[in-house]
Amino acid sequence: MALDKPHWRELFSEVVTSGLCTGCAACVVACPHDVLDYDSDGGVYRPWHVDAEGGREDCTHGERGCTMCTRACPRFRNWESEIDVHRFARERTDEEVWGVGDVVLARALDPAVAGAGQDGGLVSALLIYALESDLIDAALVSGVDDATWRAVPRVARTRADVLASAGSRYTYSANLLAYHDAVEGGAERLALVGMGCMASAPGAMQVRKAGKVARRLGLTIGLLCSKTFDDTIFEDLFESRYGLARAEIVKMNIKGVIQLWTRDGSYHEVPLKEAQPFTREGCTMCPDFAAEHADIATGGIGAFGDWTLAIVRTDQGRAILDAMVRDGVVETRPADDDPGAVALLHKLAGVSRRRWPADAVPGPRRLPLARK
């Protein structure tokens, strides 16, 4: 990282208020002085600085040399190439639109895990395997508040915790915010589940040496993602236009349309274009569809609805997936079985990369000439 000890003052102007901030909460979790807080109400999803220690825009600890928040932020300055080099020992080429790695399709063999999962249950199978093989002590995931169906950061320590948090919510859950609960509960080796914005945080922290937080976040499972919605979508679209109360929703998916299942067993569809106005502000400049810095990134695109598309990016990701196959926990099939899925991955990754603003560092906008 070039520099001059950048701290909250630089993070505030270059990321938080410039539109690049995704609300991932890495800065909040990494701050050793506890002067950053997080606003998740009213569709904000932003960090803020407590007034007593430097005001909204500055930080007295930063003035004295603390740089931890900028070390943690996966959107600060030259984040993409710094993390690429750290994770893959090289920058990715322009042709690697969805990043470095190999694509495979996978699904959980335990019917309870496959049934709970959004797609093939790979993420849940991975977490259960890592917990039960003593590779991790806990995972930072997204739970759901039963009464309101609001996505909330949670710690998963057991198979039951993992299954209770399986499936996808399409509103934002800054899973990193479960970090302190996990550590207070005695966990030292953590897995993080999160969309690309969060999945780049451990790499950012590791390459910029953000201390214990960086060391503890040892395994990263990414979720492919082109956007999340503001929480208001429940009341202002699903309820007001379709009469679907939030507390009645039990499952949601997006496959060309928004699919909703309710407690009474019925199924509903909402056209995706009606949801566009509810796109969360933090997603509008995000260039990362493919969770480019995860050990394994996972998605649900493709012809096979009960399989998870997995991009295996690191040696650690490869070793865990191989061990799971060997131990009969998951089965895999080649990506060649579904060429349409890989083509769609390429296309959607390219669309997201074009969102990165032209006046920010150029890395994430790089695309092969033929596909511009």
Ligand X SMILES: Cc1cc2nc3c(=O)[nH]c(=O)nc-3n(C[C@H](O)[C@H](O)[C@H](O)COP(=O)(O)OP(=O)(O)OC[C@H]3O[C@@H](n4cnc5c(N)ncnc54)[C@H](O)[C@@H]3O)c2cc1C
CA distances in angstroms from 153 to 90, 156, 181, 350, listed in the order given: 32, 10, 10, 29
Span 48-77, contacts to ligand SF4 by CB under 6 A = 72-73, 75
DSSP for 62-78?
HHTT--HHHHH-TTSSS
Report the partner that residue 23 touches, choosing among ligand SF4, ligand X, none (CB closer than 5 to 8 A by kind): ligand SF4
CB count in 10 Å sphere of residue 200: 29
CA-closest candidate to residue 305, choices 338, 278, 273: 338
Report the partner that residue 301 touches, choosing among ligand SF4, ligand X, none (CB closer than 5 to 8 A by kind): ligand X
Choose which of 6, 196, 299, 302 interacts with ligand SF4 (CB under 6 A): 196
**Facing residues of 332 across strands?**
106
Residue 27 vs 35, nearer CB to ligand SF4: 27
- The answer to whether 335 and 289 have CB atoms below 8 angstroms apart is no
Residue 30 vs 195, nearer CB to ligand X: 195
- The answer to whether 125 and 113 have CB atoms below 8 angstroms apart is yes
Residue 15 vs 178, nearer CB to ligand SF4: 15
Task: Find the part of the chain contacting ligand SF4 (CB under 6 A) among 116-124, 220-228, 242-250, 304-312.
Answer: 220-228
Report the partner that residue 121 touches, choosing among ligand SF4, ligand X, none (CB closer than 5 to 8 A by kind): ligand X
22 counts as binding ligand SF4 under rule CB under 6 A? yes
307 DSSP 8-state letter: S
Smallest separation, CB 264 to ligand SF4 (Å): 30
Report the partner that residue 40 touches, choosing among ligand X, ligand SF4, none (CB closer than 5 to 8 A by kind): none
Smallest separation, CB 5 to ligand SF4 (Å): 17
Smallest separation, CB 176 to ligand SF4 (Å): 8
166 counts as binding ligand SF4 under rule CB under 6 A? no
Residue 21 vs 360, nearer CB to ligand SF4: 21
Smallest separation, CB 357 to ligand X (Å): 21
Residue 226 vs 332, nearer CB to ligand SF4: 226
> Based on the number of CB atoms within 10 Å of its own CB, is 42 exposed (0-12), middle (13-18) or buried (19 or more)?
exposed
Ramachandran class of 75: left when φ > 0, alpha when ψ lies in -120 to 50, beta otherwise: alpha
CB count in 10 Å sphere of residue 240: 10
Smallest separation, CB 166 to ligand X (Å): 4
Strand order in the sheet with 257-262: 249-254, 257-262, 267-271
> Based on the number of CB atoms within 10 Å of its own CB, is 225 exposed (0-12), middle (13-18) or buried (19 or more)?
buried
Smallest separation, CB 149 to ligand X (Å): 11
Q: Which residues bind ligand X (CB under 6 A)?
A: 117-124, 141-142, 151, 165-170, 173, 175, 193-195, 223-226, 228, 298-301, 308
DSSP for 194-207?
EEHHHHTHHHHHHH
Smallest separation, CB 195 to ligand X (Å): 6
> Based on the number of CB atoms within 10 Å of its own CB, is 342 exposed (0-12), middle (13-18) or buried (19 or more)?
middle
CA-closest candidate to residue 239, choices 149, 324, 319, 302: 149
Choose which of 82, 119, 231, 288 interacts with ligand SF4 (CB under 6 A): 288
299 counts as binding ligand SF4 under rule CB under 6 A? no
Q: How far is CA 48 from the centre of its chain?
A: 20
What backbone phi and psi angles, to 5 degrees, belong to 25?
Answer: 80, 10
* Residues 120-159: x where in contact with ligand SF4 by CB under 6 A, - otherwise, as a string: ----------------------------------------
Report the partner that residue 329 touches, choosing among ligand X, ligand SF4, none (CB closer than 5 to 8 A by kind): none
Residue 70 vs 124, nearer CB to ligand X: 124
Task: Find the part of the chain contacting ligand SF4 (CB under 6 A) among 113-121, 226-234, 251-259, 363-371.
Answer: 226-234
Interacting residues toward ligand SF4 by CB under 6 A: 11, 15-16, 21-27, 47, 72-73, 75, 172, 195-197, 225-228, 282-283, 286, 288
